[in-house]
Amino acid sequence: MFEAGAGIRNSTLQGISMEPAGKGLAVTTGPLRFAVCTAGMNLLDAVWLDTNGDGRFSEGEQFISSAGGRGNMFIEHRRGSGNTLSDAAPKVEVEEKGPLRAVIKITSKYDNAFESVVRIYAYAGKSYVRVQDTLVHGPTNQGLHAYMRVAENRLVEHSLFLPLTLSDGARAVFGGGGTVPLGQAWLEQDVAHQFRPGGGGFAYEVKTQSGSIARGERAPGWVDVSDGRRGVTASMRYFWQLFPKRLHASKDGLKMELWARDARLSPDPANTHYQGMARTHDIMLIFHSGGFSPAHEALALAHQNELFAVCPPDYYCSTRAYGRHPLSARREPRFDQLVMRIVGRDGRTGFPVWRERGDAWGYFNFGDSLLGEYWSCLEYDSPWGLLQSFYRLGDADILREAALLCRGAYDMLFHHQYSEATSMYPQCSHDKEERHFAGGDSHGQKTGTDPGHVFISGLVNYWYLTGDRRAKDVIFWAFPVYYGDDKERIGCGGTWRYCGGYLAEIFVRAYELTWEKRYIDRLEWMSEHVFRRTNTRHADGVWWDARGNTFSCQPWLGDSVVYGYSSYIDINPATKLRRDMEDGFVKIADFIDRHAYARERKAIHQGLIKDGRDATEYRGTGQYYGDFMCLMSAFTMCRAYMLTGSQRYLDVARQLFNDGLAGWDSNEAKSAGEAMMFSAAALYYIQGGRFTSPDAAVPAR
């Protein structure tokens, strides 16, 4: 939380203290003291609030009493006709203890069907805590194979409960309308929701035992419970977007139902929780003296509107801390305008509009978006495409949209039951079967993965920019899973997808973040296989997929190969395969320019076929990608220009860029993914930039 103004004073000088306390850990921030229990999943086992400001915590200032090991994190799920519920002794770790902030991580498992990861953020001098709750449906690393059918389950309820001690006369105030004496009152958001084309149909209601007291469409997602002497405000980020939800206030305490009991989404299969997916919730608990005030509402709303710390574009572009390919902070009006349309600036197109039209919100769909019934979040690394433009332009709307995509992807599209020993890919594919409104398999949790759609640069950069520890968990879990089986996969096919630059880019990121030499070894093996071995690399410089004596390739994927392997050269310029790779980049550029384009470079073949390994005549499949998809080879032309100095490659790249921008359809998922992912890197060269990898050895740690 950032606070500034004439009346704001630094109140963090006393720091944060931690000490063992019974069966757990006691944390003191100054005005707040709370205990975390290791005997049961109690979350906040006890809380004291220094209401009189004397720096001590008396018995009368205890706000939450110990749950006695029974657990105040509640999970009930259904397998077949039976209900099960279990509490587990959690593992408690102190992840961070600094002068201003402490982070406690609590991990537990339930019935071998769920894994819970909760982080509590405490702040020096403050009486609020942030709770980041991730529920993984099926514990991580269970060793499932990428193409095994995953188990289906139904949550009955997932909730967090705070057993509050309040005096008579306490009241509850709900965001969205409604102040009531504390008895039984609740705010619910889309507990029954009908998914339908065109979107809409959102509904919240504030209720008491006597009936409804307020209604609306999208609730702010906060509630305050106080008795005039003290209280707590709970604010849930993305409350309405992550329906079905319920906030329940009673004399017993405050209950936050993250999956609301009795939820009835329609069609019925939309209630199915596939094992391997996850969902993260972000909650701020603001403990305060006195009654509810506008200041508490302001803090609640501030939590829902995330604050990002950013730098000027020139700084990002000059440091290249984001990755291996240079970016230009120079404006390019036509390109920049299209980027802003992708993030919905004109109100007629882009991810926000696609979500609304596709009714693409809710516990399972959050962060993804629909074009028709085609899920687009993993249509290439859209977050990375957006974040490159954020680094260039510094527009916060781009960062917000990329953050939303990443939060959706790290829960829904990384399949956490896979492991290094058994998985080919840790990611699920987007669904192309148009089954969303029929309640089918929306995001690929059940049908497996598309081996070409494996990316991590966007998520890595989201973590760099936000420090989101959930993103870090997924990144460092995914690296060894990517590593575990893809060598075999590459060896058996040698196709553009398996040998393509996606995995090279992933292993470059893995090496940069772990300094584990095995990733360099794997990159060397891949580079030799792709650029030197004759069983995969043909004389024409392209990698072909064999079906008997007929060979096929997808030439529009050229940038993926050149981008990924040029990233590898940049971290290991002394590799013995550098000349092979750079010669290969030029051969790819020549092949694409001579054989892959159509209609005067305004279209590109989706596929090319040749009869025989050494054939030099090629025919198309009759299908083309037009206009903006030609940008998928602009970076390849730019790299060939830098390696050869030949102006013709740069001329081709500029033509592709100009024609691609003229025909860019911002209502098409691929324009937000494939085309934008590599375009920002190509733009640097098109604007006159020059860059080659240095001659140096792999850096030591």
**pLDDT at position 161 over 60:** yes
Q: Helix %, strand %, coil % for the chain, to 5? A: 35, 25, 40
Residue 360 — very low, low, confident or very high, per pLDDT cuts 50/70/90?
confident
pLDDT one-digit tens code per residue, 532-542? 876 566 778 77
Q: What is the mean pLDDT of residues 284-311?
A: 92
Predicted pLDDT at 501: 82
Residue 374 — very low, low, confident or very high, per pLDDT cuts 50/70/90?
low
Q: Which two tokens stand for residue 464?
A: 């760099």
DSSP conformational letter for 493: H
74 pairs with which residues across the strands?
159
Q: Angle, to 10 degrees, between the axis of helix 396-412 and the axis of helix 457-466?
A: 120
Predicted pLDDT at 172: 95
Residue 9 — very low, low, confident or very high, per pLDDT cuts 50/70/90?
low
**pLDDT at position 261 over 90:** yes
Q: What is the mean pLDDT of residues 85-100?
A: 79
Predicted pLDDT at 100: 93
Q: Where in the chain is the domain with CATH 1.50.10.10?
A: 313-686
Predicted pLDDT at 364: 86
Q: Work out the end-to-end distance of the chain between its first and last CA atoms, rounded to an integer number of angstroms.
A: 34
Q: What is the mean pLDDT of residues 545-568?
A: 86
Q: Which two tokens stand for residue 356?
A: 């609304």
Q: Which two tokens stand for residue 101?
A: 């902030």
**pLDDT at position 85 over 50:** no
Tell me if residue 238 falls in helix, strand or coil: coil
DSSP conformational letter for 91: E
Q: Which two tokens stand for residue 196?
A: 């339908």
The average confidence (pLDDT) of the chain is 84
Minimum mean pLDDT range among 48-57, 316-325, 552-561:
552-561
Give all strands of the β-sheet with 62-64 in edge-to-edge order: 17-20, 24-28, 32-37, 46-49, 62-64
How far apart are the C-alpha atoms of 64 and 50, rounded to whole Å?
A: 13
Predicted pLDDT at 446: 62
**pLDDT at position 458 over 60:** yes
Nearest to 642 by CA among 598, 582, 690: 690
**pLDDT at position 70 over 70:** no
DSSP conformational letter for 52: T
| Residue spans of beta strands (DSSP E) within 190-244 | 192-194, 204-208, 211-216, 222-226, 230-236
CATH of 17-304, one of 2.60.120, 1.10.287, 2.60.40, 2.70.98: 2.70.98
Q: What is the mean pLDDT of residues 92-113?
A: 89
Which long-range CB contacts under 8 A does 111-114 form with residues at least 24 apart?
111/77, 111/84, 111/86, 112/139, 113/77, 113/79, 113/84, 113/137, 113/138, 113/153, 113/275, 114/75, 114/77, 114/138, 114/139
Are the C-beta atoms of 452 and 502 separated by less than 8 Å?
Answer: yes
In CATH, what number does 313-686 get?
Answer: 1.50.10.10
How far apart are the C-alpha atoms of 594 and 284, rounded to whole Å?
A: 58
pLDDT one-digit tens code per residue, 17-52? 999 887 789 999 999 999 998 777 778 889 999 999
How far apart are the C-alpha atoms of 658 and 655, rounded to whole Å?
A: 5
**pLDDT at position 518 over 50:** yes
Residue 75 — very low, low, confident or very high, per pLDDT cuts 50/70/90?
confident
Predicted pLDDT at 269: 79
Task: Record the pTM.
Answer: 0.92
What is the distance, to the nearest Å, from the Cα of residue 170 to the centroid of all Cα atoms in its chain?
39
How far apart are the C-alpha atoms of 17 and 632, rounded to whole Å?
A: 54
How far apart are the C-alpha atoms of 193 and 6, rounded to whole Å?
A: 46
Are the C-beta atoms of 496 and 561 separated by less than 8 Å?
Answer: yes
Residue 82 — very low, low, confident or very high, per pLDDT cuts 50/70/90?
very low
Predicted pLDDT at 587: 93
Query: Per mean pLDDT, which of 34-48, 141-155, 176-190, 406-420 is the most reliable?
Result: 176-190
Query: Per mean pLDDT, which of 97-111, 354-368, 390-404 is the most reliable?
Result: 390-404
How far apart are the C-alpha atoms of 453 and 418, rounded to whole Å?
A: 16
Helices marked H in 494-557: 496-499, 501-514, 517-531
Predicted pLDDT at 114: 83
**Higher pLDDT, residue 415 or 493:** 415
Minimum mean pLDDT range among 53-67, 81-95, 185-199, 469-483:
81-95
Predicted pLDDT at 550: 86
**pLDDT at position 623 over 70:** yes
Are the C-beta atoms of 136 and 415 separated by less than 8 Å?
Answer: no
CA distances (Å), origin 106, targets 36, 43, 89, 113, 236: 9, 8, 10, 17, 19
Between CA 270 and CA 456, with CA 442 as vertex, the angle to 5 degrees is 130
Q: Where in the chain is the domain with CATH 2.70.98?
A: 17-304
User: Can you tell me which residue has the tokens 């690394």?
Assistant: 381
Predicted pLDDT at 430: 57
Predicted pLDDT at 442: 57
**pLDDT at position 547 over 50:** yes
Q: What is the mean pLDDT of residues 225-232?
A: 94
Between CA 578 and CA 282, with CA 454 as vertex, the angle to 5 degrees is 125
Residue 86 — very low, low, confident or very high, per pLDDT cuts 50/70/90?
very low
**pLDDT at position 573 over 70:** yes
Predicted pLDDT at 498: 52
Q: What is the mean pLDDT of residues 453-465?
A: 91
How far apart are the C-alpha atoms of 100 and 122, rounded to whole Å?
A: 8
Q: What is the mean pLDDT of residues 95-104?
A: 94
Predicted pLDDT at 563: 92
How far apart are the C-alpha atoms of 342 and 672, rounded to whole Å?
A: 6
Q: What percent of the chain has pLDDT over 70?
A: 83
